[in-house]
Structure 1
Amino acid sequence: MHYKVFIIREEVDYTEALEAFKDNSFIKLEPWGMSVDHLRLTITGRPNTPYEGGKFMFEIKMGEDFPFAPPYCYCHTLLWHPNIDSSIGPGKLNICLDLVNPELVGKVDIKTGASGWTPSKTLTNIIEALKGQIHCEPPFFNPADPLNFEAGDQALNHYNKFESKAKEWTKKYAMN
């Protein structure tokens, strides 16, 4: 019985996200295979960012404990970003985002106000946050709290160097 309730929640989240982003040309959401509990999210970099025109693919997988735990999120596209570390292999979290960190469920960072996952959060919240990271929108683009320390330091202290490398990686790894 519980399994059926969770499948309904996954379907509701997926349908809500499709509706929320149906007119957003930067977002493409689709099932990874045959089920809406495993999704492929492609975010296109917006103009005037280091990621302009790049296509960044994320995997989102809702586990058996969803919605009580966040979905597993992983960025498959190599990119130079303070909050995404391309050197971390699949199966591990390579995105620095409180919302998808299983260790931060129900917690709030007093300094930043960022909150971890709660069952009231949805797939739409996650997509908005990931889009904010790729579109360099604070608080989601946060070089002061990096996962990739070198990219974070560059973004804070040598932005031109950061921007140049991010554009180079976008052209090399995220363009069709």
Structure 2
Amino acid sequence: MREEVDYTEAVETFKDENLVRLEPWGMNVDHLRLTITGREGTPYAGGKFMFEIKMGDNYPFSPPYVYEHTLLWHPNIDSSIPPGKINICLDLINPELVGKVDIKTGASGWTPSKTLTNVIEALKGQIHCEPPFFNPADPLNFEAGDQALNNYRKFDNKAKEWTKKYAMN
């Protein structure tokens, strides 16, 4: 079962990574809880951000469904979108971009050769503000994207405020 292989690979890859925690949501490894801790030097420092990952019946031919549960101020994640919908702007997990490449950015959609580890690395890049995964020029949350591009100090302050309010224990 590909889900088990990908889960085992991801656990092994991130076993020494203190900013990433991956565990089954329930009894099966096709429904996972991923917690990414914000890295120092970012507006998300010290915050714990929880993602739900579901590998559907057509996995690995379709990307996993990923939903970010922790409220955060981020250009590429929109906390106002309810569960069941996509609240993360990331080509890799967009079901409409399977097998496609964005000529302008070089970003590629899901292919069966991609793995859960690829998804976790991309989500970690978003929380750790690493380009190309942190991409305010292609926002899902347009207000956060505009702030990150045109008034970073205002963006940084609001992201830190939300991190402290919603992502700290």
Secondary structure of the residue aligned to 1:152 is helix
Alignment correspondent of 2:133: 140
Cα deviation for residue 51 of structure 1 reads 0.0
**Are 1:52 and 2:48 an aligned pair?**
no
Alignment correspondent of 2:77: 84
List per-residue Cα deviations over 1:132-167 (Å, max 9, x = no partner). 000000000000000000000000000000000000
Distance 2:9 2:109 in 1: 20
The TM-score with structure 1 as length reference comes to 0.96
Alignment correspondent of 1:100: 93
Q: Percent identity?
A: 85
Alignment correspondent of 2:116: 123
Distance 2:152 2:88 in 1: 21
Alignment correspondent of 2:164: 171
Cα deviation for residue 128 of structure 1 reads 0.1
RMSD of aligned alpha carbons: 0.2
Note the residue ranges of structure 1 that are not aligned, 5 or more in a row.
Answer: 1-7
Aligned residues between the structures: 169
Distance 2:129 2:141 in 1: 15
Secondary structure of the residue aligned to 1:16 is helix
Q: Say which of 61, 77, 82 aligns to 1:68.
A: 61
Distance 1:112 1:24 in 2: 29
**Are 1:158 and 2:151 an aligned pair?**
yes
Amino acid at match of 1:19: E
Q: Say which of 34, 40, 62 aligns to 2:27.
A: 34
Deviating 4+ runs (over 3 angstroms):
none
Secondary structure of the residue aligned to 2:32 is strand
Cα deviation for residue 127 of structure 1 reads 0.1
Alignment correspondent of 2:4: 11
Secondary structure of the residue aligned to 1:170 is helix
Note the residue ranges of structure 2 that are not aligned, 5 or more in a row.
Answer: none
Alignment correspondent of 1:24: 17
Distance 2:82 2:166 in 1: 16
List per-residue Cα deviations over 1:5-60 (Å, max 9, x = no partner). xxx10000000000000000000000000000000000000001000000000000
Amino acid at match of 1:143: P
Secondary structure of the residue aligned to 1:132 is helix
Secondary structure of the residue aligned to 2:23 is strand
